[in-house]
Amino acid sequence: MLTGITHWLFGQHSCQERPSVPEIEGIPAEQLPDEDLVLERAIAEWQETERRMARMASQSIRFKRGPVCLCFFGDHHLGSRGTDYPRMFAEAELIRDTPGMWVVLLGDLLDNFVIGQLRRIRDDARMTIGDEWALVRRYLRIVGPKLVAQVAGNHDQWAKLLMGVDYFREVAAAIAPGALYDTDDSRFMVQVGDWAVPVRIRHHWRGHSIYNITHGIERAAKWDHDFLIGAGAHKHRGGVARPFVVGGEQGMGVMVGTYKRYDAYARRLGVAKVNASTGVAVLLDECAKSITGFDNLDMAARFMTAVYGAG
């Protein structure tokens, strides 16, 4: 055996030829992306972002005349056993049928416990995720003709975190395609006649006070000076329309209540009792240049009916 190998090594291949080099076709590991193409794509992305930012900065909702009543709602939590469904849908129909009343949604329309450890909460659920979205669609079909703007809440966005698809946006666009939409923070001008009122809506505002639930909204107004009406949700501490002054003008901080009237989590934490308000209405009158808040939707509807008659 060794003799054969020796003959092969020193006889037939005694010319000491170099070993052959393999020929490889494909994409080698060291081949990096083309820098020029990547930069071109990055610039295109930035230009699209700039266009979107410009559109966001010039958003408006215009009414030829007033008074106009904006009704803010949030924290519906469709799918929860503790949610007051009869009241929610009755109030949706009230807004739909009352002239001059319009809807702004502030997120958390459904429970949507689909991610991480939150999935454990579904062990005690009576409704499926499909049931929850069916209720969302039913609710949006009622308020859709009156819906002018909306932002998503943390519960609404969990589907996007899980799948990378903003399903809430798709449902809202299918039912109320003309309404303004943002995942987090929306600024727009409400024009009533010749009077323009800057509005900003978020589901959750930074800043906290145990004595003033619109503290985060008021602080943002005083720092940013870019809105007179700020509205939020998330707190589950009751509905409030609280006047405040910013830059010498009267503003209004709106914190909506929740339709989740029984909340086991809040009960476990010992959260203070909340008022009975759900949605909060803000009346804009261009003649008096006034902003008036109602934490009672029935009273706001009676006022608008007195002005315009029955719907």
Q: What is the pLDDT of residues 42-86, one digit of tens each?
A: 999 999 999 999 998 899 999 999 899 999 999 998 988 889 999
Q: pLDDT band for position 182 (50/70/90)?
A: very high
**Domain 55-308: top CATH class:** alpha beta
Mean pLDDT, the chain, whole residue set? 87
Q: Dihedral (C-alpha) 17, 19, 20, 26: value to the nearest 10 degrees? A: -160
> Which of these, 186, 187, 252, lies nearest to 218 by C-alpha position?
252
Mean pLDDT of 214-242: 93
> How far apart are alpha carbons 11 and 160 in whole angstroms?
71
Residue % of the chain over a pLDDT of 70: 87
More confident residue, 34 or 115: 34
Q: Is 63 helix (H, G, I), strand (E, B) or coil?
A: strand
In whole angstroms, what is the distance from residue 189 CA to residue 254 CA?
16
231-278 residue pLDDT tens? 999 988 889 999 999 989 999 999 999 998 887 767 776 777 788 899
pLDDT in tens, 3-15: 665 555 555 555 5
Half-sphere exposure of 307 (CA within 13 A, CB side): 18
Mean pLDDT value across residues 94-106: 97
Round to whole Å and give the CA distance between 63 and 56. 19
Q: Where are the domains of the chain?
A: 55-308
Kindly report the pTM of this predicted structure: 0.85
Give the model's confidence band at 116: pLDDT under 50 very low, under 70 low, under 90 confident, else very high: low
Mean pLDDT, rounded, for 197-225? 93
Q: Each residue of 136-149: pLDDT tens digit?
A: 999 999 999 999 99
Q: Residues 190-206: what's their mean pLDDT?
A: 96
Which among 136, 142, 141 is positioned nearest to 91, based on CA atoms? Answer: 142
Q: Which residue has the higher pLDDT, 125 or 305?
A: 305
Residue-level pLDDT at 276: 86
Say if CB 176 and CB 109 are below 8 A apart.
Answer: no
Confidence of residue 121 (pLDDT cuts 50, 70, 90): low
Q: Determine the straight-line distance between the first and last CA of the chain, rounded to whole angstroms.
A: 105
Query: Tell me, what's the pLDDT at 114?
Result: 59
Residue 123 confidence (pLDDT) above 70: no
DSSP-assigned letter for residue 10: I
Work out the burial of residue 183: count CB atoms within 10 Å of its CB; fewer than 13 is exposed, 13-18 middle, 19 or more buried: middle
Contact by Cβ (8 Å): 187, 198: yes
Over residues 24-44, mean pLDDT: 86
What was the pLDDT predicted at 264? 72
pLDDT number for residue 308: 93
pLDDT, residue 8, reads 53
- Average pLDDT over every residue of 111-116: 65
**Is the pLDDT confidence value at 22 over 90?**
no
